[in-house]
Amino acid sequence: MLQVIFFIKLLLVHYATQSQRGIEANCNDDVTLKCPHNDIDSMDFLSVIWYKVKDKQKFGLLRKRKGEQVQAKGTAKLGEKYSLLLFGVTVKDSGTYDCTVMANIGYENLYSEVNLTVHECVTKTVVTPVTTVLNINQSTEPCPVQVQDLPLMWTIIGFVAVGLLKIVLSLISIWLIRIRSSRKRQW
């Protein structure tokens, strides 16, 4: 019984390593992801579809039906032997890509995943030296900031003026409301 369990585990490990491959690329490289199924042209299939897998959802990149033109979204192209060509990859292109071969009725569909890891984009920085020249003979700051407070009398006059304006506007509003309400009563 232990030998059977060991054999099943060995098959599962073999299947897991066969179905998932990893590719590493640098930023702005052109990358070719190969569909790992051997000799797809000799198979009886309906189409080959490449997906980008994100958050357990598949987003179609391109599809090639046997005998038809390629249908693609974005900048992805179909290469030799149904490989996926990605141009100028960036970090956001990292992730899992799924190559699906949809078989005709009576045959088995084939699925395989390819993991792409794109390294960080590194830009070279140019250091420019800056020289600061100080005038030693200058005795004051080049831009002195002077804040001048208003006199207390002007501040009080401003607050009183705003208060009186509010009172006058309130009296005008009350007078208009009374005139309007008296006209409604006359009708």
Specify the pLDDT at position 158: 92
**What's the half-sphere exposure (Cβ side, CA atoms, 13 Å) at 187?**
4
Give the residue numbers spanning the domain of 97. Answer: 17-118
In this structure, the number of other CB atoms found within 10 A of the CB of residue 1 comes to: 5
What is the Cα–Cα distance from 38 to 21, expressed in whole angstroms? Answer: 15
Q: Which amino acid type is present at position 187?
A: W
**What's the half-sphere exposure (Cβ side, CA atoms, 13 Å) at 127?**
2
Specify the pLDDT at position 73: 75
Say if residue 106 is in the same domain as residue 172: no
Specify the pLDDT at position 164: 97
Domain count, the chain: 2
Specify the pLDDT at position 168: 97
Sheet of strand 45-54, all strands in order from the earlier edge strand to the far edge: 20-25, 110-118, 95-103, 45-54, 57-65, 70-72
Say if residue 160 is in the same domain as residue 98: no
In a domain, 29, yes or no: yes
What are the pLDDT tens digits along the chain (187 aa)?
A: 666 665 566 555 445 444 457 889 988 889 998 887 777 777 778 888 889 898 888 888 888 887 787 877 777 888 888 888 998 888 988 999 999 888 888 888 888 899 999 988 877 777 777 777 665 665 555 556 666 777 888 889 999 999 999 999 999 999 999 988 888 776 5
Say if residue 53 is in the same domain as residue 102: yes
What is the Cα–Cα distance from 71 to 74, expressed in whole angstroms? Answer: 10
In a domain, 136, yes or no: no
Q: Where are the alpha helices (DSSP H) in the chain?
A: 2-19, 152-186
- For residues 59 and 51, the answer to whether their CB atoms sit within 8 Å is yes
